[in-house]
Amino acid sequence: MKIQSIGNSYNISRENNARTNQLNFKRAWGEHISWGANYIKSTEKTNFKLFSFPDAKAVFVEVADKAVAGMSNMKDRIVKLAGVAGFGVAITDIMPKNDESKIYPMENKGEGIYEVQGIDAKPEDKYRYIVITKENNVNLVKDPYAKKQEDINGWSSIYSDDYKWKNESWLNGQDPRRIVRKPNEPLRGLEGLIIAEVNIPTMTEEGTFASAIKNIDKIADKRIATAIELLPVENTYSMQWGYDGVDKFAVNEKLGGARQLKELVDYAHGKGLNVIMDMVPNHMGPDGDYLAQTGPYEKGAGQFGGEFNYEGQNNRYVRDWMTNAALWWANEFKVDGLRLDMTKLCGSDYLLKQIVTEVNEHFPDVFIIAEDGRDNKESITRYEENKNDHNNSLDFIDTQVDFIANRNWNSTPGNIGFDSEWDFLFMHILKKALLEPGANLLSTLDGRIKASQHRVKYVMSHDEIGNEDGTRLMTKVISRHLDLFNKVNGYSDAEKGQRAAHAGQKLAELIVSKDFEKLTNDELKQKEEEIGLNTFISKDNLCDAFNTAIAKQKLAHGTIFTVPGPKMYFQGDEVADLSYFKFFREFSDEKEKRAKSDDLKNGIIAQKGYDTLEELARKDSVVGRIKPEGLYKNVQKQMRKFNVDLRGIMSTHPVLESGEIVGTYNDNNHNVHIHHLKLGNDEALVIKNYGHGFHDKNYEYYGFPQNSEWEEIFTSDDTEYGGSGYTNEGRKESITNMNQHLSLAPNSFIILSKINK
């Protein structure tokens, strides 16, 4: 397995591109890397290339030395124009405000492409484009291809980096821990993918790439995850989730910038962790968006920000722009996989097909995962042998998009060919089964389990935590188990729901505090009243709710981990972290607006139940903020051991990782679901109890495999994991269909392995 060697930097001089220009590509690699500001080390000059309005009167690039002050805002320095007396007058001259910068005209190459080469500009120098529209509007804009953007409203910086990658064996495909896409295998090479989804701003208190490196050791040492997925690091104004990125090629400088990101990726590879980069092809963030002034990149405003012009007029270079962003992350940062955010909202399956086509061609080992949400539509992830070469595939996409653009039609390609996708349907039904026991959901869950082998399984991502109320699964279980919705006051169901969620969070933090065990009933009642409860809940009931939450957290991971194929958990869930993960962000003008009125803040609090300002919400969301003490001082150690041991069982029993589901069974009377796995001569049964009933050596079910003997190899209820100790180990007689007599604790699962193979 070897990566196609193309180059260690996007900034490859033309003289080094002779080989790639000879390749039979419609878009040769040299074209992919030619956009934006490209510093040529051999000449110490910079070439600039921009896609702008095809009918623009003129386009210029203004360059200033990096040391010049006052370059933060795009509008701070006003250019002087000459020869713009009327609509039809040509631009004869354009001058900078003073001698601190130089302005160069860009040659119109046709189709909206503007270029100028050999400019005396060095790395870190500032630049911006000046676009004179046909209406004589003067647009001062940053570079949509900017690889370094220190301020979302400021000038772009010329990027050049000579980082020397340390783990070359990983990059060359010689490290067996690297996971690559294999289209000819049933699970496409991703069956070993166990993803820890992480958010750099909340991974540590500092919230930077450099500080996150110490947590890479912790993730690797647990031997649970085989990959980390970084929530987007596309440039935004503040530390945040990253889904409001406006500079699609530039790394958020507040997190440490491109150099630190490379160090993080390189370090993760050295620890045996694959790195997946999350990118956002469906919208621009609402803060710092200059694309509409730069060229025909957008078709208008959408729910989350500017929506892209992937299928309107002048669409090719817009599609190329986003495709090149995917290639940029794969090439420059050596990531092993890409995850594309909410692809169904891109408005163009042809754009998605183009990204897959180009990445597969240039980086055949890099896998691509979609968050699509179209009810597991098979064409999203269906692999079909591409009988066309790369050139013909792109011709097909271009032709189809132009055809439908000219007729204002809607059309999609036959298939897109992502390697996997987030399994929304699996997630929704599993979460419901955990939070609404007894709802007779097993038939639906059964179908989701059988259909999820090539999809990414999870119980909660950042969305299900942060977009709801900021609380994790365990807190949600506590809130449901104690019926907090009916124990808080509120003017509406929405308000009561928020208050119940946050009351559950405060109760969880109270239960794991060192003083909880010592509280008298009067003291506990006072604290519960302060939390906002109108009904007293005893200490025993609180402990029962917390124990149930722990058991369900283990049951969730057991369900996910024992279904073959890729799976994922959110940061901290592997150790039952109780910290919030709140939605947080800050806009460049937010504090100014808040200073004038509290309406913005109050509106946010009414919607979310808390203030989303980065400096307030982020600190509540840092992993490890809550340190369990007292009665539950060992809970994180127990949960860590549970996940490590479960991962170990998967390693010694490959049937759990890449086997085939050959049978399932629903026991709706007891809320138990069983799935039967087979790989060669190895077989396993996973028996999951989503109900509250205890079974003490008396659980049996009709569908138990006949003529075979089994032994228990794992139980989530082991006392080492904080369970009650129900087990089927050490039996004098083997487990058979005639002699099941299984012990099964509430909200638990067991794994049986076939012994007469």
- Please report the pLDDT score of residue 383 as a whole number: 72
- Which residue from 640, 645, 757 is spatially nearest to 709, judged by alpha carbons? 757
Q: Go through 476-487 and write b for each residue having 16 or more CB atoms within 10 A of its CB, e for each that does not.
A: bbbbbbbebbeb
| Mean pLDDT (whole number) for 362-381 | 92
Residue 420 and residue 194: Cα distance in Å, rounded?
Answer: 13
- Please report the pLDDT score of residue 412 as a whole number: 80
Question: Mean pLDDT lowest for which of 9-18, 463-472, 563-572, 646-655?
Answer: 9-18
Structural domains present in the chain: 35-157 (2.60.40.10), 168-422 (3.20.20.80), 655-754 (2.60.40.1180)
- Please report the pLDDT score of residue 195 as a whole number: 98
pLDDT of residue 466 exceeding 50, the answer is yes
- Please report the pLDDT score of residue 474 as a whole number: 97
pLDDT of residue 696 exceeding 60, the answer is yes
- Please report the pLDDT score of residue 74 as a whole number: 64
Confidence of residue 183 (pLDDT cuts 50, 70, 90): low
- Please report the pLDDT score of residue 85 as a whole number: 44
- Please report the pLDDT score of residue 3 as a whole number: 25
pLDDT of residue 18 exceeding 60, the answer is no
Confidence of residue 304 (pLDDT cuts 50, 70, 90): confident
Residue 175 and residue 118: Cα distance in Å, rounded?
Answer: 41
For the stretch 474-488, pLDDT in tens is 999 999 999 999 999
Confidence of residue 506 (pLDDT cuts 50, 70, 90): very high
Residue 280 and residue 241: Cα distance in Å, rounded?
Answer: 12
Residues above pLDDT 70, as percent of the chain? 91
The residue whose two tokens read 């509007």 is 137
pLDDT of residue 104 exceeding 60, the answer is yes
pLDDT of residue 24 exceeding 60, the answer is no
Do 201 and 210 touch, CB atoms closer than 8 A? Answer: no
Question: Mean pLDDT lowest for which of 82-91, 315-324, 553-562, 676-685?
Answer: 82-91
- Please report the pLDDT score of residue 2 as a whole number: 25
Q: Compute the mean pLDDT over every residue in the chain, rounded to the nearest whole number.
A: 90
- Please report the pLDDT score of residue 15 as a whole number: 34
Do 731 and 713 touch, CB atoms closer than 8 A? Answer: no
| Mean pLDDT (whole number) for 37-56 | 96
Confidence of residue 91 (pLDDT cuts 50, 70, 90): low
Per-position DSSP letters for 432-455, written without gaps between them:
HHHHSTTS--HHHHHHHHHT-TTS
Strands 695-699 and 742-744: antiparallel
Confidence of residue 26 (pLDDT cuts 50, 70, 90): low
Do 225 and 186 touch, CB atoms closer than 8 A? Answer: no
pLDDT of residue 748 exceeding 80, the answer is yes
Burial group, residue 74, by CB count within 10 angstroms (0-12, 13-18, 19+):
buried
| Mean pLDDT (whole number) for 100-109 | 92
Rounded to a whole number, what is the distance in angstroms from the first to the last CA of the chain? 34
Residue 571 and residue 428: Cα distance in Å, rounded?
Answer: 19
Q: Two tokens at 334?
A: 């050596």
Question: Mean pLDDT lowest for which of 294-308, 413-427, 597-611, 695-709?
Answer: 597-611
| Mean pLDDT (whole number) for 694-698 | 92
Beta-strand (E) ranges in 597-735?
660-667, 672-679, 682-689, 695-699, 710-715
For the stretch 205-243, pLDDT in tens is 999 999 999 999 999 999 999 999 999 999 999 999 999
Per-position DSSP letters for 470-499, written without gaps between them:
S--HHHHHHHHHTTGGGGB--SSHHHHHHH
pTM: 0.93
CA angle, 744 then 747 then 751, to 5°: 50
Confidence of residue 25 (pLDDT cuts 50, 70, 90): very low
- Please report the pLDDT score of residue 184 as a whole number: 63
Of residues 5 and 130, more confidently modeled: 130
- Please report the pLDDT score of residue 1 as a whole number: 24
Confidence of residue 609 (pLDDT cuts 50, 70, 90): confident
- Please report the pLDDT score of residue 22 as a whole number: 37
| Mean pLDDT (whole number) for 704-730 | 94
pLDDT of residue 251 exceeding 90, the answer is yes
| Mean pLDDT (whole number) for 673-693 | 95
- Please report the pLDDT score of residue 687 as a whole number: 97
- Please report the pLDDT score of residue 4 as a whole number: 27
Residues above pLDDT 90, as percent of the chain? 74
For the stretch 519-569, pLDDT in tens is 999 999 999 999 999 999 999 999 999 999 999 999 999 999 999 999 999
Do 196 and 571 touch, CB atoms closer than 8 A? Answer: yes
| Mean pLDDT (whole number) for 457-481 | 95
| Mean pLDDT (whole number) for 389-397 | 86
Q: Go through 436-459 and write b for each residue having 16 or more CB atoms within 10 A of its CB, e for each that does not.
A: ebeeebbebbbebbeebbbbbbbb
- Please report the pLDDT score of residue 67 as a whole number: 72
Which secondary structure element, helix H or strand E, spans residue 115, and what is its range?
strand 113-119
Confidence of residue 157 (pLDDT cuts 50, 70, 90): very high
Q: Two tokens at 97?
A: 């405000």
pLDDT of residue 86 exceeding 70, the answer is no
